[in-house]
Amino acid sequence: MISDLKTREIPFFSPLAIILLLGAVLYLQHVYVPGFFHDGYLYAALGKHAALKGHWLVPFMSETEYSKFAEHPPFFFMVEGVFFSLFGPSFLTARLFAGLWGLLLLWSTFKLAKRFYDENFAFVATFLLALMPFLIKKVRFPNLDIPLSFCFVLCFYYFLRIIETRRNAHYLKFSFFLGLALLLKGIPAAFILLAIFIFVLLEKNLRGFLIDGKAWAAILLSFVLFALWPIALWINGDFSIFQQWFERQFFSTIMKARGQQEFEFFSYFTHLLKYSGPWLILGCLGIIRRPYNRATKLSMIAFCSMLFCLSLMKWKYSHYLLPVYPALCIVATTFLYPFVKEKILLYKNGVFLLVIAGALTFAIFPIGAQSDRDRSLIEMTQALPRLAKSRDFILVDNAYEYWAWANYLSFVYDANPRMTSAMDVQKSFEQFPEGIYFIKRPLFDQIKNLAPQKLVRVYFMERDDIVVLGPDHLAFP
């Protein structure tokens, strides 16, 4: 058996197919489980309301929160809305949508590594990428950083192809994916151009790059693609959305760090060491290993330049690092590959068997069948589907983590979430007599006499000690 694994290919399964199967098992095994990180609820709600209510150009979550969402361009939510239009909005389809971007990221990384190294190298590099714990965590809910990483990889791929062939098609494809990166998150796409600039500078080909009219035309075309968004906003009378986006991205986040005062330069490096330590160590060993080919050099530059620039910012989010992971895995593989090359067939067949065993295990045993994230809210929505008829949901005195609560209810119920204090709850009772109120039980015992007679206790979130108050027709018979 072992000798067969060493000498025979698994029939009908290429290395890329094995990697995609591995990704499907890792990223989609819990696809039917409700519950996201709170940004996942938000992004799912924006896509849902694009599909069902027509909020394509200006994303919409609710009438009370993010009625005009200006934090990101709408491209991701448009694509998500198309997906929801085809398959319906739900936790299942939202997780499928997110997982498909993870598989596309694996495919694009394999494509780059296979073209500029070989197929076995590509297998090792994408195997490392597929197993990164932080990537597995982030690919389980809708987010913009996985698609952005996908665009990064294909931009670098077509840039390297441009160096090889100078074909017009490669310039156009580079321009297209750079434009998509801009439409996904805007300013972070500049890291693509920064890496390319440093690369041509170190290659001592800066003059050739500067006089390459096709390169400048490709970059200009990508900005024209991005400009379609503010132009469309201007035509529809919503240009202020673009102005708000630019102010928040450039001035509030980059220049003013959203009010953050502390500066920790090494926090991203520490994060990588904590969550991706073996990958980082292999990457550092790959950096000191020579000689480099162009793909290795560009990957090193992309990883180091982005890590350095992000480390200079006071305001830091761990998911900002996601686009550097494919580059890190390629550099790590340049060190690891010579040690596994001789037995690569054994490793490929072994991974395939592990994938099949993992898929069967997840199918037979309820591993990951439940999520502890927002369990109380999930149980409530399962018990009270009639709440879908309500629109005004009021959280009293921070009874629950607000944004998780608000984003969840906006996705599941199309709710208009609001917040009030214990002092103002009577005003809320008068203003929203048909509202759904979430109140901690000790506070409820103090203020229950203030509630209108038709507001009754319709549910108790025992896990969080929260009373849900609503119209009497929603109560259990």
Dump pLDDT digits (tens) for 334-361. Answer: 999 999 998 888 888 888 888 888 888 8
Average pLDDT over residues 370-395: 84
If DSSP codes are grouped into helix, strand and coil, which group holds residue 365?
Answer: coil
Reported confidence tier of residue 9, pLDDT bands at 50, 70, 90? low
Closest CA relative to residue 175, chosen from 187, 193, 188, 191: 193
Reported confidence tier of residue 1, pLDDT bands at 50, 70, 90? very low
Examine residue 291 and say whether the peptide bond preceding it is cis (omega within 30 degrees of 0): yes
Q: Poorest-confidence range of 163-177, 258-272, 369-383?
A: 258-272
In the chain, the percentage of residues whose pLDDT exceeds 70 is: 92
d(CA 160, CA 307): 21
Strand order in the sheet with 416-420: 416-420, 392-396, 436-440, 466-471, 455-461
How do beta strands 466-471 and 455-461 pair? antiparallel
pLDDT digits (tens, 9 = 90+) for 410-458: 999 889 999 999 999 999 998 998 899 999 999 998 888 888 888 888 8
Enter the DSSP assignment of 132.
-
Q: Contact, 226 vs 219, CB < 8 A?
A: no
| Statement: residue 112 has pLDDT above 50 | yes
d(CA 60, CA 331): 41
- Give every CB contact of residue 369 below 8 A, 6+ residues apart in sequence: 30, 33
d(CA 471, CA 436): 8
**So where are the chain's domains?**
2-364, 375-474
Q: Poorest-confidence range of 108-112, 250-254, 285-289, 300-304?
A: 250-254
pLDDT digits (tens, 9 = 90+) for 41-87: 999 999 999 999 999 999 999 999 999 999 999 999 999 999 999 99
Examine residue 323 and say whether the peptide bond preceding it is cis (omega within 30 degrees of 0): no
* Mean pLDDT estimate for the chain: 89
d(CA 436, CA 390): 7
pLDDT digits (tens, 9 = 90+) for 201-227: 988 777 777 778 899 999 999 999 999
| Separation of CA 329 from chain center | 19
Average pLDDT over residues 185-203: 93
Average pLDDT over residues 395-416: 93
**Residue in the block written with tokens 């959305």:** 241
| Statement: residue 234 has pLDDT above 90 | yes
Report, in angstroms and rounded to the nearest whole number, the Rg of the chain calculated over CA atoms: 25
pLDDT digits (tens, 9 = 90+) for 23-38: 999 999 888 888 888 8
pTM above 0.85, yes or no: yes
Q: Classify domain 375-474 by CATH architecture.
A: 3-Layer(aba) Sandwich (3.40)
